[in-house]
Structure 1
Amino acid sequence: MKSQLTLKKAFLITIMVLSSAFVFAQGTGKISGTVSDKKTGETLIGVSVKIAGTTRGVATDIDGKYILTGLTPGKYAIEISYISYATKRITDVEVKEAAVTNLNVVMEEANSQTLKQVVITGSYKQESVNALYAQQKNSASISDGISSESIKRSPDRNTSDVLKRVSGANIQDNKFVVIRGLGDRYNTALLDHAELPSTEPNRKAFSFDIVPSSLVDNLIINKTATPDLPGNFTGGAIQVITKDVPDNDFISIGIGAGYNTVSTFKDFISGPRAGINYLGFDGGNRELAANFPSTNAISAGLDPAKNIAAIKTLPNDWNKYSMSALPTQNYQLSLGKTKNFENNRKLGAIFALTYRNSQSITPDLTRSFHVYNLVDNQYKFSTSLGALANFAYSYGNSKITFKNIYNKVFDDTYLYREGNDVSRGDIRFYAFDLLQKTLFKSTIEGNHKVSGKNDKINWSLSFDDVLNDQPDQRKVEYFRNVADRDDPNGFRASITGLGKANTRLFSKMHENGYAGTVNYSLPLTMFSKSATLKAGLNSQYRDRDFDVRFIGLVLNTNDPTEANDIRIRPLNTLFGSDLVNAGKYRLDEIANAGDKYTANSLNNAAYLMLDNKIGEKMRVVWGVRAEQFKVNLNTFSTLIDPIEQNYFDILPSANFTYSITPKANFRVSYARTLARPELRELAPFQYYDYELLAIQAGNTHLKRALIDNIDLRYEFYPSAGQILSVSAFYKNFNNAIESYIDDVNSTPIVSYFNSKKASTYGVEFEGRKTLDFIGTSDFLKNTTLYANVAIIKSKVENPNNPQLLEKERPMVGQAPYVINAGIQHNLLENKMGINVLYNRVGRKIYKAGGQQFPSVWENPRDVIDFQLSYKVSKKAELKFNAGDILNQRNVLYFDKDNSKTYNPVANAVSSTNDQTISSYKAGSNYSLSFSYVF
């Protein structure tokens, strides 16, 4: 608590210092926006934007953006002109004191000498509608997105929550995205146009929970490929754009607190806690000492003195500390600054800091399957930090941006398990587990107009640093034979030997990534219509080191009585200093040189694409992408051959759009994409997952998958900001990559394999519409109903192995349906907003089955979220959020009776009905937050 108060003081002091450093201009306002082509959506460079009837004006920059500053409050007429386009005059553009009026403009090409002399006149409201229509209709591919405004109106606190709102998307494990029924490994993520690496040590996935939603400007999911996108996605390419240069100077602060129905103010148990943990850092207290004996030294045997000395360097606080779980707390601070210079030069910067701490409890998590009847109680102390620093400099027809993001997640978990294992007896299991994930990404990007032809060069260089550190994961098991249940000292610690389920794990994954991209676009004329030729080169290099050690203390006595007396000790004295000093423990290690590995990959790509119009209503975006990919992975074992893969792939794609009416499009697309094995999926490293009660391992023979994709879509925009659409898609897989349970041994192994034949197909429906079609009342005009529904079917033929329980099944992670729906209402002149959201995902396979166990299924849940927001003033806003109000159980299970519904029974050992892998309630979340903009 003391550490939390210190953090709050530091936070308030920071605000005061920053506030004193900024002085804001009062009494004047600004008009800013973007100018683009109505039919293609391409932004236009060098467009003249001026106050009508005056000489006061500016030209749009390399991004098609403009800003008119120093305007006294009132209404203005704006005149926009550009060569070969009809001049526009926009009236009733209202400027308010110390505020920015956003006006995006779409320009129409002149098709005759007469039209060039005509000035198209429209109002501010009309032009705002036109610009939004153009943005909605002009996407080159089939895509869906969420803007920063929509994010603000939802209770979502991080990007993974936001993704649940996108049509056809759902989230697995609260952080990994599934799109169109395809698991996270079939999706790719880009941050500020640069591809992101995997943040997980045991899967190909980007953990979206480490990107706070407050740092996101917009989020787009491309569901069909174009040549300028990476080729390694099938479900979707998720583009996260962080906030850029502001239109106005500002300082914004936010503070919030949350209550969880199963955690807050309940007894919270953990291992030792340091004050620095509240800041998201461990301080290195749990790392192995620099002089800790090597694996070879331990294997050769340490002399008694060195053995005791080495053991003493290990953290030895096994006490369990109890406190009251505090409410979730979060703080945000962001500030922006712009500086305008002569000759339309501009420098801008935006900074943001976010902090969140939560203490969550998962009580009475049941595991009742196979030979297990277990109950877990898990306590997670979690701190996350986020920082963003973006800079941009515009000069002439060029712009340079420098974007940086840093995120750190500190998850410290204590788990206590009790129950019985029919094959061994009663169990008491303890796990202390710290996982630290860090991401730093830096991208510098340049945009330049090359000549008077409006051709552009875009280039970028990026660097990312990913660290996944798991220092001193401690696991201890006590067993009691069934015959000893009446003995108060019947439980004995399993310390007579070393196993991966009963060790101290020290692992660290460190990866650096380097990428460079250059793109060139040239406007030209084809079939008497404007077109754009694009070409580009990209290179991405990844370098990873993975180090792991399994260390433990083994009982070192030949006296059975003494050994028994030690084994019945409680956990807090089991490894007491009296026993260590007396030499009653021997340091041991599970030495497997195949677990450690180094790896690198190099992907070189080139593409050529053409975006051209055929007639007045047809548009085709087509081209080809070529990718050369090479990966090398080496373990430290001489018994395992180095892994080398080298692929060259040609990936064609074509996106056809027919504009049926000014408000409707019909789209058809084809693309070939691929999915490559992640480094961890290739590595032979074996890791015991105590939550799954299974070992996770890679497959050195895993191949890359090739996928053919076909999409159809009809979209109708009844009015600005509203949409009705229906889509259909089909995907055919060659060597699909999936996870499965290899259960031939007593301890199952979760690994990966290639399914030779797999396909998935489905339809999506999306709608967003105000209710003014029912009536003209203000209530209906201010009420918006939205929903998206995906219905999906997939089929996989398992390998031709007669021992497998299942011959055919759906793809792993594929749900038969996904439903997102909501209703939004604004009242009190938009000062108050009410938003209700609903989500449901059909049952889906979590892991494919093997020879003893069928597939693991995830049971559907109904999730309802609610938000009430109120603008106290122009600068202050208050929000109340309620998340997962129904608090239905999260369930993974074996569908033993093939009923396609979850029907658990009490006795899992002898049952032929459904068996529970895990079942728990995470609790409902209620929070209150306040934000203020200076």
Structure 2
Amino acid sequence: MKRILVFLAVLTATFSYAQSTDSVVGQLTDKEYNNEPLAFANILIKGTTKGTTSDFDGHYGLQGLEPGAYTLIFSFVGYETQEISIQVVAGKVTEVNVPMGASAAALSEIVITTTTKRESETALLLEQKKAVEIKTAIGAQELSKKAVSDAAAATLKVTGVNKKEGSSKIYVRGLGDRYNTTTLNGLPLPSNDPRNKNIDLSLFGSDIIGSVGIGKAFSSYMSSDVSGANIDIISKETSQKSLFKIGFSSGANTQTTFEDFKEIDGANWFGINSNTKHNVRNLSTYSFDNNYTPNDGKANPNLGLSINYGKKFTLSDESSLSIFLVGSFSNKYTFQEGASDAIVDISDSGVLNVGSIFDTKTYNYNASKMLMGNVVYKINPNHKLSFNHLFVHSNNQKVQDFIGTTNDVGRDNDDNRLVNVLLQTEIQNKLFVNQLLSTNKFGESIDVNAALSYNAIFNDEPDRRKNTFIINNDTNTTRISQNAVRDNSRFYGNLFENNIAGNLSFVKYLGDRQENNGKITLGYDGSISDRKFDGIYFDHNFTDPRNTFLDINNLDATFNQSNLNSGLFGIETSRGRNSNDAETYLPQLYDAEKTIHAGYIDAVYKFSDKFTANLGVRTEDVKMNVKWDTNISFPGFSNNSEIALDKQYILPSLNLKYEVNEKINLRASSSITYTYPQFKEIAPFTYEGINFQESGNPALLPSDNYNGELKFELFPNKSELISVGLFGKLIQNSINRLERNSAVERDFTFDNSGDATVFGAELEGRLSILSKESEDAEKSQNLTFGGNITLMKTKLEYNTANTLFNYTGDSSELEGASPFTLNADLSYRFSVNDKETISTLVFNYQSDKVYSIGTNFQENIVEKGVPLLDFVFSHKFNKNLSVKFNAKNLLNPSFERYRDIPEKLTMNSYKKGTSISVGISYNL
């Protein structure tokens, strides 16, 4: 059968290329990727400029050859070049099928480059074209061209994706953190932050990323706790015989670098704080390790250092062992200056109702370290075993210095007093990821794949320090303010979560792997997560705050053992228990567990050469239990309680693909998924900021999601794409973050607000404007354009039967859903032999979108849309040495939020400044 198919392929290629029978045809296959067809490889007749490239199915053809001897050169970036001598006979068709790979062989010439196939734009575009389901990915090649430094920034280059400013959360088609999932090599990752479901994608630097896939349409083999997208990070592997690359970069910000800068006392420049837990064992002893007073200094230039090492060992003709190691360090200083006004509304008489009005200064320092290693053992072409280990350590230090007025202080014209709120926050993350993956092929038609992972995350918030002062400009004095219990406090928070996950799948092809009518997959996915979180406040309550004056630049002269002994202030814990017995001031905490067991059957069947269908059914059993012991209660629940959710699902999915011709695909997708509440959305633990607080709602229930999509794809050539898509979603019993009315100015919680609908259209284009190449292929230049537009309409219809929250109006747009998003880039590339220059302009715009939903007659808070423009330039002097320059946020717009009233009065505003960096890398 296989011989017949090869003969038919040869016959088809022969007919399609020329009438002359003096030709060479064949197929190139990829030994490094399950012997799949290798597209876009180069075939050149040695000593001439005559050649061609393989098509989408790996086929190639050379026609019009005179009879005689020739040497053909087969090459592809990242693979060994092969030279094969042939004899062309008059009136005959010469067939040459070539398996391409990176393993060593007895070849006359070997060419190794640093770019591997699965990271290139054209290869990912080919995978998108061939896939049955709707998928999008961005690879390492494109990340480098656009100066993308991490996975979070990578997602923003994909159609329909945007990000909430000042947060790690991304939104896909208007759906935020709780509606998305994150995986590494297809295996789940825990969150590094108790307030989020997904891990901060900025922790994954571009050095470890092979590609980032955004799955916005769903199949049965994917987790179904999702309605926005699954973000799957594929880690790098090496296919080169050897690699050693070192890179260094430095950068500056126009409003930060070399300016005055405040830093938290405790963590060092390298971003390590060993004092992550409090040492308080007696409330009469002031035993805190860190100073209250921030350290004054200067913001130095940002630095980055990375080292890549790879080695491939050939064990036999079919067996190899490869090792890839990456280590990196980076830091970043940022400063923001602006305003924060707690505008509530305007009364019927036109009077503005406001709370605090602050001038704001925010100093932020971030340092991160990353180590990744993988070992890949290719036993033979049919069996492969790989182990991945990833360690990420990040430390983020923020000093927020707010000065202004409140309803009680500084409002009247004759009141020359100001409120000063100082908040110092440090977040330290340590993430450990361990993965073992195995792929196996048995015979011609059966695959068995398995994977197992163990992940652990340590999230520490050591010694969050808050102070509130009253500044009297008439007397030039500063005193303690104590209107609320948290006005002067220290907080310690610690989170630990571990996760064990695994999957197993059996694949049966309906034919053999290369030529078949489809396949049937049976699989199992399992996941067990366990999270423990505790947090404790140490409130400093002053006996006579109105007469307690201090030096704002030397807070430790007030907050010390001597003043504690004298009774100037006392210390109470978060539960108000003032005792010398450490066992009586236990921290607030919550414990959470979640187990998922899922089985699925997924069938792909090719009804004809043009029409393919993918039908899947997934069953999931999901159990979640959250126990808490806090100092607050929620209506219907005590401050010491627990909640259990136990649901079973049967979830179908359907993907259809119709190939109009070789360049045009029509696609359709539909599925049913669900959304579980997050741990922190349920636990009624309160997180407090300078002028806001947020707590969970244990009454939350899961949402049911119905998803549908239609898409048209046109592939003009191997590097071009034009696509148009329409999508819609119905989310029953949707979960939303909302602002409720309370004594706190901005008090946020979560609720099943009602049913939500999302409808939208997406347009994407990747076009080659200019492409020139010299006859000898030593010089080339091209100009390319890429862009995508998303238009979206979202509507949340409030559940008015809910008496716990009084919603403002009948409906709202969804939180974080930008009605209009535009991404565009223009790139010019010029190369001469080993020299290469690339210049790229990258533009992004997101229109106004809801920041938080209002209740109790307060309108929504809206985040204003801003344009962003970046410039990237890189030059490669030779195979070894290259430099890169980038300038980000060239337009430096003002980032603002406003209350959604006709006057659109600004509540928050600040600028980020323009960042410039220069880097150099050397590849040995």
TM-score, normalized by length of structure 1? 0.81
Counterpart in the other structure of 2:146: 154
The structure 2 residue matched to 1:544, chosen from 531, 549, 558, is 531
How far residue 134 of structure 1 moved from its aligned partner, in angstroms, is: 4.4
* Structure 1 residues 204 and 95, CA gap change in structure 2 (3 angstroms): closer
Question: Once the two structures are superposed, what CA deviation does each residue of 1:677-736 show, in whole Å capped at 9, x if it has no partner?
Answer: 11111111111122xx22110110111111111100000000001100000001011111
Alignment gaps of 5+ in structure 2: 1-5, 10-22, 39-43, 63-70, 83-92, 101-116, 344-353, 411-417, 577-585, 631-637
CA distance in 2, matches of 1:505, 1:131: 50
CA contact (8 A) 1:890 1:919 kept: yes
Question: Once the two structures are superposed, what CA deviation does each residue of 1:487-537 show, in whole Å capped at 9, x if it has no partner?
Answer: 323x42135x862343111111110000011011110159x9621001100
CA contact (8 A) 2:176 2:816 kept: yes
Counterpart in the other structure of 2:475: 487
1:263-274 pair list within 5 angstroms: 263-272=256-265
* Structure 1 residues 573 and 826, CA gap change in structure 2 (3 angstroms): same
* Structure 1 residues 131 and 580, CA gap change in structure 2 (3 angstroms): closer
The structure 1 residue matched to 2:35, chosen from 61, 64, 76, is 64
The more displaced of 584-593 and 174-183 is 584-593
More helix by proportion, 1 or 2? 1
Counterpart in the other structure of 1:138: 130
How far residue 175 of structure 1 moved from its aligned partner, in angstroms, is: 2.6
CA distance in 1, matches of 2:283, 2:922: 58
Partner of 2:600, secondary structure, is: strand
CA distance in 1, matches of 2:187, 2:459: 20
CA distance in 2, matches of 1:89, 1:791: 43
Question: Once the two structures are superposed, what CA deviation does each residue of 1:613-668 show, in whole Å capped at 9, x if it has no partner?
Answer: 01110000111111110011112367543210001011100100000010110001
Q: Does 1:511 align with 2:503?
A: no
CA distance in 2, matches of 1:179, 1:203: 16
* Structure 1 residues 240 and 58, CA gap change in structure 2 (3 angstroms): closer
Question: Once the two structures are superposed, what CA deviation does each residue of 1:403-450 show, in whole Å capped at 9, x if it has no partner?
Answer: 111111101122211000023443011122111122211110111113
CA distance in 1, matches of 2:123, 2:359: 56
CA contact (8 A) 1:551 1:587 kept: yes
Give the aligned residue type for 2:35. Answer: G
CA distance in 2, matches of 1:363, 1:868: 29
Q: Does 1:247 align with 2:221?
A: no
Root-mean-square deviation (CA, aligned residues, Å) is 3.6
The structure 1 residue matched to 2:739, chosen from 715, 738, 741, is 741
Give the aligned residue type for 1:723. Answer: L
Question: Once the two structures are superposed, what CA deviation does each residue of 1:566-608 show, in whole Å capped at 9, x if it has no partner?
Answer: 7999634221443234343322112187941111010111110
How far residue 784 of structure 1 moved from its aligned partner, in angstroms, is: 0.4
CA distance in 2, matches of 1:130, 1:202: 38
Give the aligned residue type for 1:406. Answer: F
How far residue 323 of structure 1 moved from its aligned partner, in angstroms, is: 1.6
Partner of 1:729, secondary structure, is: strand
Give the aligned residue type for 1:390. Answer: N
CA contact (8 A) 2:121 2:139 kept: no
CA distance in 1, matches of 2:271, 2:662: 52
How far residue 804 of structure 1 moved from its aligned partner, in angstroms, is: 2.6
Counterpart in the other structure of 2:402: 417
CA distance in 2, matches of 1:859, 1:326: 31
CA contact (8 A) 1:594 1:635 kept: no
Partner of 2:562, secondary structure, is: helix
CA contact (8 A) 2:629 2:641 kept: no
Counterpart in the other structure of 1:444: 436
* Structure 1 residues 342 and 378, CA gap change in structure 2 (3 angstroms): same
Counterpart in the other structure of 1:696: 694
How far residue 75 of structure 1 moved from its aligned partner, in angstroms, is: 5.4
Counterpart in the other structure of 1:111: none
CA contact (8 A) 1:498 1:590 kept: no
The structure 2 residue matched to 1:864, chosen from 858, 869, 876, is 869
Q: Does 1:394 align with 2:398?
A: no
Counterpart in the other structure of 1:238: 231
* Structure 1 residues 252 and 776, CA gap change in structure 2 (3 angstroms): closer
CA contact (8 A) 1:840 1:861 kept: yes
Partner of 2:641, secondary structure, is: coil
TM-score, normalized by length of structure 2? 0.82
* Structure 1 residues 441 and 454, CA gap change in structure 2 (3 angstroms): same
1:768-847 pair list within 5 angstroms: 768-772=766-770, 782-800=782-800, 803-829=806-832, 831-847=836-852
The more displaced of 564-573 and 917-926 is 564-573
The structure 1 residue matched to 2:610, chosen from 607, 614, 617, is 617
Counterpart in the other structure of 1:921: 911
Partner of 2:378, secondary structure, is: strand
CA contact (8 A) 1:710 1:731 kept: yes
Counterpart in the other structure of 1:588: 572
CA distance in 2, matches of 1:797, 1:502: 41
Counterpart in the other structure of 2:361: 377
CA contact (8 A) 2:271 2:394 kept: yes
Counterpart in the other structure of 1:209: 202
1:651-666 pair list within 5 angstroms: 651-666=651-666
CA distance in 1, matches of 2:818, 2:190: 26
Partner of 1:771, secondary structure, is: strand
CA contact (8 A) 1:755 1:799 kept: yes
CA distance in 2, matches of 1:687, 1:833: 46
How far residue 169 of structure 1 moved from its aligned partner, in angstroms, is: 0.9
CA contact (8 A) 2:494 2:535 kept: yes
Q: Does 1:367 align with 2:344?
A: no
The more displaced of 571-580 and 833-842 is 571-580
* Structure 1 residues 88 and 824, CA gap change in structure 2 (3 angstroms): closer
The structure 2 residue matched to 1:354, chosen from 324, 328, 333, is 328
* Structure 1 residues 388 and 767, CA gap change in structure 2 (3 angstroms): same
Question: Once the two structures are superposed, what CA deviation does each residue of 1:158-188 show, in whole Å capped at 9, x if it has no partner?
Answer: 1111111111111223532111121122111
How far residue 95 of structure 1 moved from its aligned partner, in angstroms, is: 6.1
Q: Does 1:710 align with 2:708?
A: yes
CA contact (8 A) 2:494 2:533 kept: yes
Partner of 1:279, secondary structure, is: coil
Give the aligned residue type for 1:385. Answer: K
CA distance in 2, matches of 1:244, 1:600: 33
CA distance in 2, matches of 1:517, 1:219: 20
CA contact (8 A) 1:89 1:120 kept: no
CA distance in 1, matches of 2:290, 2:917: 38
The structure 1 residue matched to 2:296, chosen from 306, 317, 322, is 322
Counterpart in the other structure of 2:346: none
CA contact (8 A) 1:494 1:567 kept: no
Alignment gaps of 5+ in structure 1: 1-34, 39-51, 68-72, 104-116, 294-305, 898-912
CA distance in 2, matches of 1:581, 1:494: 20
The more displaced of 796-805 and 151-160 is 796-805
Give the aligned residue type for 2:211. Answer: N
Counterpart in the other structure of 1:300: none
Partner of 1:580, secondary structure, is: helix
How far residue 388 of structure 1 moved from its aligned partner, in angstroms, is: 0.6
The structure 2 residue matched to 1:757, chosen from 745, 755, 758, is 755
CA contact (8 A) 2:819 2:848 kept: yes
Give the aligned residue type for 2:528. Answer: Y
1:154-193 pair list within 5 angstroms: 154-172=146-164, 173=166, 175-193=168-186
Counterpart in the other structure of 2:670: 670
CA contact (8 A) 2:479 2:549 kept: no
* Structure 1 residues 578 and 518, CA gap change in structure 2 (3 angstroms): same
CA contact (8 A) 1:367 1:919 kept: no
Question: Once the two structures are superposed, what CA deviation does each residue of 1:773-827 show, in whole Å capped at 9, x if it has no partner?
Answer: 9999999960001110010001111221694323211111111011001111112
